[in-house]
């Protein structure tokens, strides 16, 4: 589907007058306030940076909060080894461009250490990122990890505080979250504990795309339309890759697709789309009838509470 | 909503989103109401709707109860934040739990809300039995209805709307609505609460939620959503003199920098506004300086008003660090003792003599509970003497501060008048503190 066909309809959205949006300004202001609070309140914070759209939006806000080249914390990526190369390449390029320190820790190293054991070789490594992440937290003694999670993504996320306390085992206690009053964030920690902090909690998928359009945030190419070999499986378009080959009886087709969300290759699916830039994606996002995760994630479909369970285990 | 109407929404810039909460007692229908708002405004997507089918029926409450413990028990434990938009406006909803045990989560949601929709379950009230001669109505509102309304009022939630729910299950709905409205108005008047509207609704059937149910219960006003579209967002405390809590100090190592090695103090303007040339006093050091430069996010010089972040460069090198305040000279007198209303949120009760951490702006100081003045009886709104404040109690206390703080009554300034108390042993956030006007 190419939503961008009526050029007259599109015209007003791209006139300079539309570049100002009070709602986006308020969301940006909130994110910047939180990013500064983390820089000031913690000793060893880090920003989780995957090269995906939400973390690139976070990085844009961080650039505004601190000035180019002055982001006062390192960027951390937990690499499953199953990433789309377009995304990791872009991640490295962007970190370098910003002069930011990029720390990469990999699930494969955890497997080599024996701290991650796969049930079978083809198992998704996505859930195992938690182990590697907690190992990185221990290694660097991080006390705050900034993430690009949004409350509109998923029901368990909708319940989470902006400053989300984690115990010494990295666990989220959803039944016992700290009250969060006004912007008086209680950042006090006992040794070994840490916080996960979500500056763009209150953004929706549409807000993110409008912001990307307004601020000209550059993204990895796979967020926009491209031709890709896929198979249809349980209503999803599963990308055909060496890691995710077609199964017997499935027909491989080349389709025009884009990714709404990117993550581990083994769990992320694209959607059919001809959207070639952020403006196109904004229009598509306005007319979708399936949520970001419902359209694209294989791992969330296994159980109603799978995200909550993973978060309790230390997932971000 | 169709894509076209949403497009016009974006093109028009609907302004800041309205943040509202739904609160009230358990099972009054909060989650169902939100489900109804989301479904009828076509915000819920197909896969999400498929996830809330139970035995062929749609259970709207399941759209918001996202924790497994909530689904197991069929109750809401913590706030769920939801987002939706109409052609006129964007909304952020905080769906607050009704149980008294989870009042702290309700207070969390209320502290950032522009408006509150307090749900009242018409089927739970003894409105029919209380009538003697068709006039007298004894306001038998539930304790949580009173508590939540009072908390919203204390926290300065600007608009409080009562939504009287489940009237579809009552035979004489008009009479029930009239009497419950009387009880709500009487309670609000005695608590000093201004009521924005009282709307009869059926969250289950969708009456008066997104579209008006003409004349039902004798009500001729707008549907709840129409009301919400017209409510104001919280106004900033601009009439109060300039106050600025220093959040983060930016240091430049290079003297070739345009700011000539000076430091920039970043933070959010709490009240008033700031522009170059203004005199300021640093709290607590008491030193004076002149504002040399004010930076916005684009690092362009500008005037910055309350509610917005600013970077301030002073005309001289002073010892200013995170937690300090830049204040309009002479406008504030730092005090070592404050009387405040507290909403006690911790399971461990507040007792006189204990020392807590207090956070105001970005400043942490020790605060000792000098004495408890009284506790509010939720049923009668009377202030009663108390030895301690248990979880979910509201009362007045005197706090002795380790270091002086510049405060204003919370009714005048949200930022200078609000603090949180944190337990020094468990680090739990124990109380919302609202500074009271000084005794005359």
Residue pLDDT, tens place only, B244-288: 999 999 987 654 555 455 799 999 999 999 999 999 999 999 999
- Determine contact, residues B434/B360, Cβ cutoff 8 Å: no
Residue-wise pLDDT for B119-178, tens only, equals 999 988 876 655 444 444 455 788 889 999 999 999 999 999 999 999 999 989 999 999
Q: HSE on the CB side for A27, CA within 13 Å?
A: 29
Cβ atoms < 10 Å from Cβ of B59: 15
Closest Cα in chain A to B66: A155
Cβ atoms < 10 Å from Cβ of A102: 15
- Determine contact, residues B350/B369, Cβ cutoff 8 Å: yes
Quick check: A202 and B83 CB within 8 A? yes
Q: What is the pLDDT of residue A20?
A: 67
User: CA of B333, closest CA in chain A: separation in Å?
Assistant: 22
DSSP state of B353: T
Pairwise CA distance, residues B417 & B410, whole Å: 4
Helix ranges restricted to H, B138-233: 143-154, 173-191, 224-230
Pairwise CA distance, residues B145 & B162, whole Å: 10
Quick check: A291 and B268 CB within 8 A? no
Closest Cα in chain A to B432: A181
CB < 8 Å to B71, chain A:
304-305
DSSP state of A119: S
User: CA of A111, closest CA in chain B: separation in Å?
Assistant: 30
Quick check: A26 and B16 CB within 8 A? yes
Considering only residues A301 and A230, tell me which one the structure prediction assigns the higher pLDDT.
A230
This prediction has a pTM of: 0.91
Residue-wise pLDDT for A55-69, tens only, equals 999 999 999 999 877
Facing residue for A290 by CB, picked from B6, B45, B247:
B45
CB < 8 Å to A39, chain B:
248
Q: Can you tell me the mean pLDDT for A34-57? A: 96
CB < 8 Å to A282, chain B:
10
Considering only residues A37 and B77, tell me which one the structure prediction assigns the higher pLDDT.
A37
- Determine contact, residues A100/A92, Cβ cutoff 8 Å: no
Neighbouring-strand partners of residue B268: B309
Q: How confident is the model at residue A306 (pLDDT cuts 50, 70, 90)?
A: low
Q: Can you tell me the mean pLDDT for A220-234? A: 94
Q: Which of B2, B11, B21, B65 to mutate to test the interface with A (most CBs of A within 10 A)?
A: B11
CB < 8 Å to A287, chain B:
3
pLDDT at A224 over 70: yes
Quick check: B247 and A33 CB within 8 A? yes
CB < 8 Å to B322, chain A:
40
CB < 8 Å to B105, chain A:
177, 179
Q: What is the pLDDT of residue B323?
A: 97
Q: Which of A184, A195, A260, A279 to mutate to test the interface with B (most CBs of B within 10 A)?
A: A184
Q: Which of A290, A230, A296, A234 is nearest to A259 (CA)?
A: A296
For chain A, the C-alpha Rg in angstroms (whole number) is 19
User: CA of A298, closest CA in chain B: separation in Å?
Assistant: 13
Quick check: B418 and A39 CB within 8 A? no
Residue-wise pLDDT for B37-93, tens only, equals 888 777 776 677 777 766 766 777 777 666 777 777 777 788 889 898 888 899 999
Facing residue for A37 by CB, picked from B15, B247, B345:
B247
Quick check: B48 and A178 CB within 8 A? no
Quick check: B48 and A294 CB within 8 A? yes
Facing residue for A177 by CB, picked from B78, B309, B420:
B78
Quick check: A23 and B48 CB within 8 A? no
- Determine contact, residues A116/A132, Cβ cutoff 8 Å: yes
Residue-wise pLDDT for B170-198, tens only, equals 989 999 999 999 999 999 999 999 999 99
Q: What is the pLDDT of residue A199?
A: 98
Neighbouring-strand partners of residue B82: B93
CB < 8 Å to A179, chain B:
104-105, 107-108, 345, 420, 429, 432
Quick check: A175 and B67 CB within 8 A? yes
Facing residue for B299 by CB, picked from A67, A178, A183:
A67
Beta strands in B269-426 (DSSP E): 273-274, 279-283, 288-295, 304-305, 309-314, 325-327, 335-344, 355-360, 363-376, 383-384, 394-405, 418-422
Pairwise CA distance, residues A231 & A239, whole Å: 7
- Determine contact, residues A49/A316, Cβ cutoff 8 Å: no
pLDDT at A295 over 70: no
Tokens standing for residue A182: 């006004």
Quick check: B418 and A291 CB within 8 A? no
Pairwise CA distance, residues A169 & B313, whole Å: 42
Tokens standing for residue A110: 């955890």
> Which position has the token pair 């904004």?
A282
Facing residue for A23 by CB, picked from B17, B77, B357:
B17
Residue-wise pLDDT for B327-378, tens only, equals 999 999 999 999 999 999 999 999 999 999 999 999 999 999 999 999 998 8
- Determine contact, residues B391/B347, Cβ cutoff 8 Å: yes
């Amino acid at each position: 589907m190419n939503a961008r066909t009526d050029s007259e309809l599109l015209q007003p959205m791209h006139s300079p007058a539309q570049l100002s949006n009070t709602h986006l300004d308020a969301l940006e202001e909130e994110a910047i306030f939180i990013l500064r609070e983390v820089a000031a309140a913690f000793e060893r914070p880090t920003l989780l940076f995957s090269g995906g759209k939400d973390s690139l939006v976070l990085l844009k806000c961080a650039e505004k909060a601190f000035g180019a080249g002055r982001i006062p914390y390192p960027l951390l990526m937990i690499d499953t080894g199953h990433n789309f190369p377009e995304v990791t390449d872009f991640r490295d390029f962007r970190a370098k461009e910003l002069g930011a320190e990029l720390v990469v820790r990999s699930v494969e190293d955890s497997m080599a250490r024996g701290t991650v054991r796969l049930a079978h070789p083809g198992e998704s490594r996505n859930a195992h990122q938690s182990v590697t992440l907690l190992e990185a937290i221990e290694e660097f003694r991080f006390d705050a990890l900034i993430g690009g999670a949004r409350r509109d993504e998923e029901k368990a996320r909708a319940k989470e505080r902006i400053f989300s306390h984690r115990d010494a085992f990295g666990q989220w206690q959803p039944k016992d979250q700290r009250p969060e009053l006004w912007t008086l964030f209680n950042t006090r920690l006992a040794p070994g504990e840490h916080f996960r902090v979500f500056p763009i909690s209150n953004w929706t998928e549409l807000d993110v795309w409008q912001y990307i359009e307004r601020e000209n945030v550059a993204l990895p190419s796979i967020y926009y339309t491209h031709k890709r070999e896929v198979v249809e499986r349980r209503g999803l378009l599963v990308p055909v890759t060496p890691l995710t080959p077609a199964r017997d009886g499935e027909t491989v087709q080349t389709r025009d697709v884009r990714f709404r969300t990117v993550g581990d290759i083994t769990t992320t699916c694209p959607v059919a789309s001809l959207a070639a830039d952020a403006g196109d994606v904004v229009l598509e996002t306005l007319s979708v009838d399936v949520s970001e995760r419902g359209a694209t994630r294989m791992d969330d479909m296994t159980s109603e509470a799978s995200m909550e369970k993973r978060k309790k285990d230390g997932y971000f | 909503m169709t894509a076209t109407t949403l497009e016009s929404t974006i093109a028009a810039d609907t302004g800041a989103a309205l943040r509202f909460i739904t609160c009230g007692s358990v099972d009054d229908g909060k989650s169902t109401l939100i489900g109804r708002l989301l479904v009828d405004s076509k915000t819920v997507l197909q896969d999400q709707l498929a996830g809330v089918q139970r035995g062929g029926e749609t259970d709207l409450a399941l759209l918001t109860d996202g924790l497994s413990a909530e689904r197991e028990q069929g109750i809401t434990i913590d706030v769920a934040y939801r987002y939706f938009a109409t052609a006129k406006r964007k909304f952020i909803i905080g769906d607050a739990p009704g149980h008294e045990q989870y009042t702290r989560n309700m207070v969390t949601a209320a502290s950032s809300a522009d408006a509150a929709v307090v749900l009242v379950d018409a089927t739970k009230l003894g409105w029919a039995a209380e009538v003697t001669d068709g006039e007298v109505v004894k306001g038998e509102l539930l304790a949580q209805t009173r508590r939540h309304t009072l908390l919203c009022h204390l926290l300065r939630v600007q608009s409080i709307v009562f939504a009287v729910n489940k009237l579809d299950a009552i035979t004489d709905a008009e009479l029930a609505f009239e009497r419950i409205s009387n009880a709500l108005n009487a309670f609000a008047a005695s608590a000093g609460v201004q009521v924005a509207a009282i709307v009869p609704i059926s969250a289950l059937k969708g009456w008066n939620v997104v579209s008006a149910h003409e004349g039902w219960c004798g009500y001729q006003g707008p549907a709840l959503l129409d009301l919400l579209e017209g409510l104001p967002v919280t106004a900033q405390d601009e009439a109060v003199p300039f106050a600025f809590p220093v959040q983060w100090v930016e240091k430049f190592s290079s003297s070739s920098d345009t700011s000539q090695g000076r430091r920039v103090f970043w933070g959010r303007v709490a009240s008033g506004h700031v522009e170059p040339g203004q005199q300021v006093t640093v709290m607590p050091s008491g030193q004076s300086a002149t504002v040399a430069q004010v930076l916005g996010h684009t690092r362009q010089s500008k005037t910055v008003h309350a509610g917005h972040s600013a970077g301030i460069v002073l005309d001289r090198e002073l010892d200013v660090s995170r937690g300090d305040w830049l204040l309009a000279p002479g406008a504030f007198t730092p005090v070592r003792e404050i009387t405040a209303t507290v909403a006690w949120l911790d399971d461990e009760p507040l007792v006189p003599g204990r020392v807590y951490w207090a956070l105001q702006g970005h400043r942490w100081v020790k605060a000792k509970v000098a004495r408890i003045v009284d506790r509010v009886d939720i049923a009668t709104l009377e202030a009663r003497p108390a030895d301690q404040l248990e979880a979910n109690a509201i009362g007045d206390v005197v706090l002795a501060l380790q270091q002086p703080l510049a405060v204003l009554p919370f009714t005048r300034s949200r930022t200078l008048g609000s603090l949180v108390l944190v337990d020094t042993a468990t680090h739990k956030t124990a109380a919302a503190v609202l500074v009271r006007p000084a005794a005359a």
